[in-house]
Copies of this chain bind each other. A is one copy, B any other.
């Protein structure tokens, strides 16, 4: 019988070669310019205009990783990656992704592979303890956690659930967040059909001002609108600011709003007890999301979404067609995660998270997160005592925000020069009509020497 399949024997040889390629990449990643410098269209021009008619050897594919792909890679896994937020990874995470791809099960229902659902539930319960979240968020309580692709998906899901709880037309509902909230809130609200999103003023540290929030709510209520959704940021994208979660929760409770905590990046630091003051009691919180794929050594995608009560979530998202019915689901004894998000299909993402938690141990994870934060605070001190620079915001976690005292051009000049050097990558943002440099420390292999080299460049280019 004709077969075009790669045999298991060939897979073994090709797989070993690819593992070796990745190991070499890990060893050599510092040698590449961090930011790809190709012009638009360069990579595409290396590809033929049509798919090959005949099979190609695996060797050709592997060679093209170097020839076609690498020039177009911006190296998120470089230890000199200080741009955006990290999307860090680690060897056990890569291997977990490989194992999941090798099994290639699709866990839409408990019955379509019980291990997918049960390991996911167990591992998210582990995280409840590791991060000191409310015990009632465990699967044994009224709440529960689920892995989604991104914080954008989780926030959008929460917005949909909040909308469905009200028998009021969506154009009368109001969503609140601070001016510093992530764009996924505005986008998720638009996708969910909301017409009113209030971006509330922040205080001097860029955290949401609850007085301004209370005023905005009162104004909307007076105009006959219905406040339904409020986001607390635990670590804003701009400067890492933390909103007063407990105070916001109190307002949420008073007005019957869904309270969503967006801890996409800084949630990871909650595994360290000394940072938990930032998240408060989480008493009046309805949902909470964070990304192990940002700062917990678990490659993208791996977002976690908890709800304090799973009932409104399931009420909003469950639809049961006849071709998905099965005895286990009908029994009510199992969790079918398809009802916890928009997509039906799902891959075994819990496997890599499980492997990361076990491979590092809680101790190892805390150690490396603390190192990142330590390096960030130390860099902050250097900036603080150097009168060429101005800190734009406090460094609570591992994001350092600063500008040049000579203004925007000088500030942007530092960032551009660093990025053009190829030796490191940072991003800029704007706040209060001022450009600033964001130095986000969190790549798996970032060490003090990488931050020192960055500091040297900052000084040289200042």
Q: For the complex of A and B, list the 7 residue pairs with the smallest distance between their C-beta atoms, beginning with the closest.
A: A72-B115, A4-B364, A15-B19, A22-B102, A6-B91, A89-B104, A193-B193
Bound CA–CA A5/B438 (angstroms): 26
Q: How far is the CB of A434 from chain B (nearest CB, A)?
A: 11
Q: How far is the CB of A98 from chain B (nearest CB, A)?
A: 5
Bound CA–CA A14/B99 (angstroms): 12
- The answer to whether A40 and B115 touch across the interface, beta carbons within 8 angstroms, is no
- The answer to whether B26 and A11 touch across the interface, beta carbons within 8 angstroms, is yes
Looking at the complex, which one of B1, B56, B299 makes contact with A104 (CB distance below 8 Å)? B299
Of A224-232, A248-256, A340-348, which stretch is located at the interface?
Answer: A340-348
- The answer to whether B316 and A118 touch across the interface, beta carbons within 8 angstroms, is no
Q: Is A204 an interface residue (CB 8 A)?
A: no
Of A58-66, A211-219, A386-394, which stretch is located at the interface?
Answer: A58-66
Q: Is A456 an interface residue (CB 8 A)?
A: no
Residues of B close to A103: CB separation below 8 A: 25, 69, 73, 77
Given contacts A6-B91, A362-B52, A149 and B42 within 8 Å (CB-CB): no
| Segment 330-381 of A: residues with Cβ below 8 Å from B | 331, 333-334, 342-347, 351, 355, 357-365, 367-368
Q: How far is the CB of A397 from chain B (nearest CB, A)?
A: 16
Q: Is A237 an interface residue (CB 8 A)?
A: yes
- The answer to whether B160 and A191 touch across the interface, beta carbons within 8 angstroms, is yes
Looking at the complex, which one of B77, B102, B106 makes contact with A25 (CB distance below 8 Å)? B102
Looking at the complex, which one of B19, B104, B125, B293 makes contact with A16 (CB distance below 8 Å)? B19
Q: Is A396 an interface residue (CB 8 A)?
A: no
Of A181-189, A280-288, A402-410, which stretch is located at the interface?
Answer: A181-189
- The answer to whether B328 and A130 touch across the interface, beta carbons within 8 angstroms, is no
| Segment 58-103 of A: residues with Cβ below 8 Å from B | 58, 60-61, 65, 68-77, 84, 87-95, 97-99, 101-103
A-B contact pairs, 20 of them (CB 8 A): A1-B447, A2-B367, A6-B359, A15-B22, A15-B23, A22-B99, A42-B118, A51-B123, A51-B357, A52-B362, A58-B95, A68-B115, A69-B103, A72-B118, A74-B112, A75-B105, A98-B98, A193-B193, A300-B345, A300-B346
Residues of B close to A2: CB separation below 8 A: 367
Looking at the complex, which one of B69, B184, B364 makes contact with A55 (CB distance below 8 Å)? B364
- The answer to whether B328 and A40 touch across the interface, beta carbons within 8 angstroms, is yes
Bound CA–CA A68/B351 (angstroms): 11
Q: Is A450 an interface residue (CB 8 A)?
A: no
Q: How far is the CB of A57 from chain B (nearest CB, A)?
A: 9
Bound CA–CA A365/B110 (angstroms): 31
| Segment 1-48 of A: residues with Cβ below 8 Å from B | 1-2, 4-12, 14-16, 18-27, 35-36, 38, 40-44, 47
Q: Mark A99-142, 1 if CB is under 8 A from B, else 0.
A: 10111111000111111101101110111011000000000000
Given contacts A11-B95, A91-B11, A191-B342, A43 and B118 within 8 Å (CB-CB): yes
Bound CA–CA A94/B19 (angstroms): 12
- The answer to whether A150 and B344 touch across the interface, beta carbons within 8 angstroms, is yes
Q: Is A223 an interface residue (CB 8 A)?
A: no
Residues of B close to A6: CB separation below 8 A: 90-92, 359
Bound CA–CA A358/B358 (angstroms): 36
Q: Mark A304-329, 1 if CB is under 8 A from B, else 0.
A: 00000000000011011111100010
Residues of B close to A123: CB separation below 8 A: 47, 51
Looking at the complex, which one of B11, B35, B171, B300 makes contact with A94 (CB distance below 8 Å)? B11
Q: Is A457 an interface residue (CB 8 A)?
A: no
| Segment 255-286 of A: residues with Cβ below 8 Å from B | none
Q: Is A210 an interface residue (CB 8 A)?
A: no
Q: How far is the CB of A84 from chain B (nearest CB, A)?
A: 7
Residues of B close to A429: CB separation below 8 A: 322-323
- The answer to whether B74 and A190 touch across the interface, beta carbons within 8 angstroms, is no
